[in-house]
Amino acid sequence: MSMRVLHGGVLSLLQDAGRFGAHRLGLTNGGPMDFEAFHYCNQLLQNMPDCCAIEISVGGLQLESLVDTWVCLTGAEMPLLINDQECERWCVHPVAAGDRIRVEYAGRGCRAYLGVADGFRIPPYLGSASTVMREGVGGLNGVALQRNDQLPCQANVRRRRLYLPLSEQPRYPGQATVRVIPGYQQRHFNRTEQRRFFGAPYAVTERSDRMGYRLSGSAVRCNINGVLSEGICHGAIQIPPDGQPIVLLNDRQTIGGYPKMGAALRTDASRLAQLRPGDTVHFAAVTPGTARRILSLEQRFTLRKTLREH
């Protein structure tokens, strides 16, 4: 029971919630760049929250279902076609053996999640099926999906046709405000430099990927060149000697020695991951207490959101 890849698109990767507990071996997290859209994908499909889905960057994925099951597409505005018929995004659809699923290029946003009932059944590596190409682990042989890959999945599962109403769906405008908990070497950036960092707009550059988003804008100077290599958490904002910030994301190196200003909140990192080259980013400082309040509010809000049924 599986789906067959007809076309891998620009970059399509099998991702579950991510690999945790393997930093000590030098392995990074992987996992969905946009946690929010990934979460909705599994929630709509009535799956366990860490079920493996396909993260489609930019677009262009085509699959043939070899099984009767259910699929759902969330995230960036990539048109979904089943047998050339355009279908609603953020909605569970039945597919039958022989059906062709096509995900077109994104109008807005950058990453979409195509999930299937019960998730793709990929054997986990160190606790996770998440693909990290740089490390060559996870997914199918640690690489992106390509033509004729077989993606195992369950048949004969029962699902309700849930959907997220348009008014509740996240939007992907070409800009994001990224809230940051100042930390790490923050005190080595003087007041002027910090004001610059938290005041100036930054543009997403072409050199942005799953490792990190490299931004360009007003250069930020640090009083020190570097520190002893230390652990880098998700969202950490590194300022290399050229002063241009890099927000380190899912496939980041686990340790590094460039000065860091602090770390972005996970929700905002999700929004950042939907931006494309040329889009605008602003940073805003928040205290750990505020960050926690934001987090618990969001969680309550997500739990309360009512999914409708067709």
Q: 297 CB contacts (<8 Å, ≥6 apart)?
A: none
Residue 265 beta carbon to another protein: minimum distance, rounded to whole angstroms: 6
Residue 229 beta carbon to another protein: minimum distance, rounded to whole angstroms: 6
Nearer to another protein, 60 or 262 (CB): 262
Residue 255 beta carbon to another protein: minimum distance, rounded to whole angstroms: 3
Nearer to another protein, 20 or 198 (CB): 20
Gap between the Cα atoms of 277 and 209, Å rounded: 10
Nearer to another protein, 201 or 231 (CB): 231
List the one residue out of 40, 47, 39, 41 whose CA is nearest residue 17: 39
Residue 22 beta carbon to another protein: minimum distance, rounded to whole angstroms: 8
DSSP element (H, E) containing 182: strand 175-182
Nearer to another protein, 96 or 295 (CB): 295
Residue 278 beta carbon to another protein: minimum distance, rounded to whole angstroms: 27
Nearer to another protein, 98 or 231 (CB): 231
Contacts 24+ apart (CB under 8 A), 25-29: 25/126, 26/254, 27/126, 27/132, 27/135, 27/137, 27/254, 28/132, 28/134, 28/135, 28/250, 28/251, 28/252, 28/253, 28/254, 29/130, 29/234, 29/250, 29/251
Nearer to another protein, 46 or 254 (CB): 254
Q: CA-CA distances (angstroms) from residue 182 to 162, 189, 286, 297?
A: 40, 11, 7, 21
> Phi and psi for 115 in degrees, rounded to 5?
-115, 165
Nearer to another protein, 82 or 239 (CB): 239
Gap between the Cα atoms of 87 and 72, Å rounded: 10
Residue 130 beta carbon to another protein: minimum distance, rounded to whole angstroms: 14
Gap between the Cα atoms of 213 and 178, Å rounded: 12
CA 292 to chain centre: 21
Q: Would you say 92 and 135 are in contact if contact means Cβ atoms under 8 Å apart?
A: no
Residue 232 beta carbon to another protein: minimum distance, rounded to whole angstroms: 8
Nearer to another protein, 97 or 126 (CB): 126
What is the binding site for another protein (CB under 8 A)?
20-27, 125-126, 134-137, 181, 183-184, 227-236, 253-256, 260, 262-263, 265-266, 288, 291-292, 295-296, 299
β-bridge mates for residue 85, sequence order: 82
Q: Which two tokens stand for residue 138?
A: 């996870």
Residue 88 beta carbon to another protein: minimum distance, rounded to whole angstroms: 31
